Amino acid sequence: MKYLKNHPFAVKAYFKESVVLTYALPKSTLERFIPGKLSLDSFQDEWAFIAVAMVDTTALRPAGFPEFLGRNFFLIGYRIFVRYTDLRGKSLRGLYILKSETNKKSMEMLGNIFTNYQYTTTDIQQIHLNNQKIISSRKSGFQVKIGTKNEEVTLPESSPFSNWKEARKFAGPLPHTFNVHEANREVLIIRGLRQNWTPQPIPVLEHHFEFLKNQGLEQARLASAFRIENIPYHWEKGRIDKWS
């Protein structure tokens, strides 16, 4: 039943909100995490990136199903920015998933049947207080506090980018997700399609992810933080490149 993990059907969802924190690390630090056929999508040939995406989704369902049959989930993904040259010779930018989390057991079960994203279920708290929002998990050991007031935002001091335009152009959204089956010499490609994608820079007041520390990435530098709201999203059926 391995084929079921290859995204055998398209999926639709509505992103009520997506908060993405992108961290920069020297290329050599992240090279050990990615499989063959993929390469790091680097900046100035020095920095590589891992992003934590926290997405509040509604009406997630197989494409073609009516919206009322969809389900609401909170999703968290730890993803490395990568490149892949497909069998047609086209260079694709995308993501390699290290780990995924969700707030509901049903999403963990279905996600691990139909994807290779390694879902686990965790607790998620979202608190709004005085022009701030806190997203946290006691079980997973993370907490993020962001500002929600509309105001000019400066880049994190630790960012390798010189301005928000550079950060926005480089850091996403990246259209593809890749999974590599090295034993079978296969690369699975999933393309995401979205509408009205206009990320807004946000101030990050606190940020800590135990997962990064456990992976030996505690020296990761916050490079950028964006939020998008109210976005229809569509994942296409997976496509496999079979290498001879």
Indicate the number of domains in the chain.
Answer: 1
Cα 229 to Cα 186: distance, rounded to the nearest angstrom? 35
The per-residue pLDDT for range 160-189, each reduced to its tens digit, is 999 998 898 776 667 899 999 988 899 999
Asked if residues 60 and 115 have their Cβ atoms less than 8 Å apart, the reply is: no
Judge whether 208 lies within some domain: no
Q: What is the CATH number of the domain that holds 33?
A: 2.40.400.10
Q: Which structural domain, as residue segments, surrounds residue 9?
A: 2-122+158-203+217-242
Asked if the structure places residue 134 within a domain, the reply is no
Q: What long-range pairs does 88-91 form, CB within 8 A, spacing at least 24?
A: none
State the CB neighbour count (10 A cutoff) for residue 156: 21
d(CA 175, CA 93): 7
Omega of the bond leading into 173 within 30 degrees of 0 (cis): yes
Q: What is the pTM of this model?
A: 0.94
In a domain, 212, yes or no: no
Walking along the chain (244 residues) 10 residues at a time, the average pLDDT comes out as: 81 94 96 95 94 96 92 96 95 95 96 92 95 96 92 91 87 83 91 86 96 95 94 93 89
